[in-house]
Chains A and B, each alone.
Chain A
């Protein structure tokens, strides 16, 4: 990093020097850029390019087959004023984010604290607890969830032992969203790993001093662990919130692509997918996608703005 600063400072005065600067940058960073190349190609070709194309398409009427037809802001106007399904999808998605993120983080933190107490075979437990995060987004798990929470699934068989006759959880509009929240919480692995690393960073002498002063375990957690962990909590919250907004597979598989019953699992991304590939409205779906980008952006910006009131960076 320091090398670059020097090179820029000395070479900015004249042209040959500028060329020399480029050569020097190449000499010192060329290999780095070459290593970056696969990622750069991927970023420009597969992310940025399509993103710009979708921004253009969002102002068109595009049915995938005929050429896109420019219609100005009509798609956005319809989303804002005349699309009840958009409202339904936003409601379901917000509910999902608001329910799944806090539960998941709390659970991940709880497990991390338990593991941090020096359990024997920590690495094994860590791997086991991380496993659902690797599997969780997959189709197979969503199918499994269907089996668990269906009318005569495993959950109801267990409840039956206690004489409770449960409904078909995944296909009842009052409960279906909860099965998706549980599925999300079950994938607590990646925030847990990060929490665990964060807990390890907290100096043990603080706890020792606190115990000497007679602070209870709960007070120690509340006064030491939590404040010092806030940067990690903040990071996890932002990442998980973005992930939750983007969730698609579980709702798609569990509802069979419908978002039902009665739109109760109609995630925003699922609605977007239906519009694009079910109803051939690629232009409208692109507009929906950009609205989602905007929503996530606003949420993230809001988190960062409020963060200085509750996140403590240890300087």
Chain B
């Protein structure tokens, strides 16, 4: 008897749950947008505030924001897209936009240009940066460029002038060795070992008139280039201008684990929009500097690139609403004030102008850096081909093999070119 009653109870409970879930949509808003991005807590706070603002101005729209760290972000996005459960608004990176657009995961936005998306005052090169095979798939959330984060306080202690836009690699190597030799801090070196930092390698290649990838997705440098790169860093390692390899290998290539943030080196290599985050976790005063030059007259190593995009999912129910949200994010003056330059320098000329007067010192330094690159900046390279992520891993792996002395620079150059060519051929 008891058995029967409990079973009935269970059934009743289940029915109640079912009816409740059936009721839920009746209470729901008319439209719901899920927004997914990667980044720090500071970014989440800003983004959530803007989402709140959008909801206030658009009755009947509910926005659900989720955020993750960079390395967790991509597996999560891939599984959600595969499970037909993609977020409506996807923060997208220059490295992945081709992969996602080609696979039909993103909605083309061309139809909304001029109507919902008013990006006429954007830098047109940056608009093109969000295009794949002639269609627009991503709206840039800000421009940035590769940059050197420098611990100004440590330079001052060692009595050494900060590098300038015309500092060469030879000079930088000497400066690095001098800081190490000054020995003002324990276990402290001049530079991070940047041999595995792809944007830095790319910058160096571009100054030589080469690139990472060609427009048709092939490798754009040869074994000699790579060997020379590894040899340059090998020399710095020997001169103690940069950190030893086991310290460098602690670097997971994010703000928190870079040798600069760990207090092991006076300079690390990153992207300009990360300056806010770097200064946030470093007590010493930092400075933002361009990458060293291969010779006094070298130029064109840097480029302004979209730091990240907002893309609209191909699975979204209402792509127009998605486009409207993206437009709000990049154009609304109040939103711009909240967001600042945390995602890079805004692309809209109007927004940029309005923002300039409200920026704090950090934001201004970043704005000045990106807009003041001048001849140091060249054209935006084509979006990286599929396999680019793996190619970056390969660079890191080979750079470590050279760093730990398993390969010499020449073998390293050959191995790298071999591996990257194979990866790109596989796609």
Interface residues of A (CB under 8 A from B): 63-66, 150-152, 167-168, 170-173, 256-258, 260-263, 273, 277-280, 282
Contacts and interface: CB of A to CB of B under 8 A. Distances in A.
B396 interface: yes
A64 B81 contact: yes
B327 to A, nearest CB: 26
Contacts of A150: 250
Interface string B60-82: 00000000000100110011011
Interface core residue of A171, A260, A262, A278 (most chain B CB under 10 Å): A262
A152 B75 CA distance: 32
Secondary structure dominating the interface of B: helix
Contacts of B390: 278-279
A170 B71 CA distance: 20
Contact of B247 (A168, A263, A277): A168
B193 to A, nearest CB: 12
A64 B250 contact: no
Contacts, number: 77
Contacts of B100: 65
A278 B70 CA distance: 12
- Rank and list the top 9 A-B pairs by shortest CB-CB distance, nearest first: A171-B249, A256-B252, A277-B75, A64-B82, A261-B249, A65-B103, A168-B246, A172-B246, A171-B250
Contact of B249 (A65, A168, A257): A168
Contacts of A173: 400, 404, 406
Nearest to B403: A261
Contacts of B404: 172-173, 261-262
A66 B245 CA distance: 41
A282 B79 CA distance: 11
11 contacts: A64-B82, A65-B104, A66-B104, A151-B250, A172-B404, A258-B252, A263-B397, A277-B74, A277-B75, A280-B99, A282-B82
Nearest to B100: A65
B52 interface: no
A66 B249 contact: no
Nearest to B81: A65
Interface string B70-104: 01001100110110000000000000000110011
Given A171-B247, A260-B400, A282-B82, 4 more contacts: A64-B81, A152-B187, A173-B404, A278-B74
B406 A262 contact: yes
A159 to B, nearest CB: 14
A256 B104 CA distance: 30
B56 to A, nearest CB: 35
Nearest to A257: B71
B282 interface: no
A63 B100 CA distance: 10
B71 A256 contact: yes
Contacts of B397: 260, 262-263
B247 A63 contact: no
B75 A278 contact: yes
Nearest to A63: B103
Given A65-B104, A173-B400, A256 B78 contact: no
